[in-house]
Structure 1
């Protein structure tokens, strides 16, 4: 099998909500289970304090067996960017680009170029599995923040 040229995959979606509303969900780790499109996040196991640069948070994962993963926020730009990684080094990132009409382009990226064992990610096909899961995540995020009850 040929080595991939790029070790990241991204999906994007225009969401009919301001970046501030979307970012508020992304920095609240207690809401991650709500928007998770993979179905693997079971629950938050640490404080639900808003995430900032350097914050850590742990999630209970259920993939056959249950285990806990601790994540650290590595990049943070208010209402624009948040990136976190766990001990293995893979990164999950959300970039928000406000649009002139008030909507927001949201891009979710899974990057395994920083993983300790990037080849293992490829061997289990995690990079391919994550694309439809990220599409579902953005769909769930949109449904949450576009709801009429949240309109200004």
Structure 2
């Protein structure tokens, strides 16, 4: 049985890791690639570009609008970026150079999260794999040449 509190998906993206990392490290770009349709904007008081230990806020909407503060907890320039908020789960991106682009892995790790049972009851753990896959599709489309 799959672990509902750790979800990982990988996709090839036709761009070098540095370009992809730059997009991921720019909070204002997150609504453009979000596959869950819950990220609606960036709060203006945060950094334009993420770095180790950075704090940044996002405008969100799941039913009703709300704001969430995130903290960068993993940062390796051009290779790895992860953040968490007060519930404790981590969203992370791992970039591996590949021929003609990059293998991008998005991971959601809720092993240290408070209130995990609520995620299962609300169906979040069932919807999250498809949301991650759509995010990676959106990321790949952002870097794909226009037809």
Both proteins in one fold, TM over 0.5: yes
- Partner residue of 1:127? 125
Q: CA deviation at 1:123?
A: 2.0
User: How has the CA–CA distance of structure 1 residues 62 and 5 changed in structure 2, closer, same or farther, with 3 Å as cutoff?
Assistant: closer
Of the structure 1 ranges 118-127 and 101-110, higher mean CA displacement relative to structure 2 is found in 118-127
Q: 2:68 & 2:4 partners in 1: Cα distance?
A: 25
Cα offsets for 1:21-71 (capped at 9, x unmatched)? 100100000000000011011110133521011001111111111110000
Following TM superposition, by how much is the alpha carbon of 1:128 offset from its aligned partner in structure 2, in angstroms?
Answer: 1.8
Does the alignment pair 1:62 with 2:61?
yes
> 4+ residue runs of structure 1 moved beyond 4 angstroms?
none
Q: What is the distance in 1 between the residues matched to 2:40 and 2:19?
A: 24
Deviations 1:114-141 (A, max 9, x none): 1012222222221221111111111111
**Which segments of 5 or more consecutive residues in structure 2 lack a partner in the other structure?**
none
Q: Aligned equivalents of 1:5 and 1:49: distance in 2? A: 34
> How high is the TM-score relative to the length of structure 2?
0.92
Q: Describe the shift of the 1:35–1:48 C-alpha distance in structure 2 as closer, same or farther (beyond 3 A).
A: farther
- Once the two structures are TM-superposed, the CA of residue 5 in structure 1 deviates from its matched residue by 4.8
Deviation at 1:20, TM superposition (A): 0.5
The one of 7, 10, 22 equivalent to 1:24 is 22
Aligned match of 1:53:
52
Instruction: After TM superposition, list the pairs within 5 Å mapping 1:100-139 onto structure 2.
Output: 101-139=99-137
Give the secondary-structure state (helix, strand or coil) at the position aligned to 2:56: strand
Instruction: Give the RMSD, CA atoms, in angstroms.
Output: 1.6
Q: Return the alpha-carbon distance in structure 1 between the equivalents of residues 49 and 61 of structure 2.
A: 24
Structure-2 change in CA distance of 1:5 and 1:34 (3 Å): closer
1:110 is paired with a residue of what secondary structure? strand
Gaps of at least 5 residues in structure 1 are none
Shift of the 54–48 alpha-carbon distance from structure 1 to 2, 3 Å rule, reads closer
- Secondary structure of the 2:53 match is coil
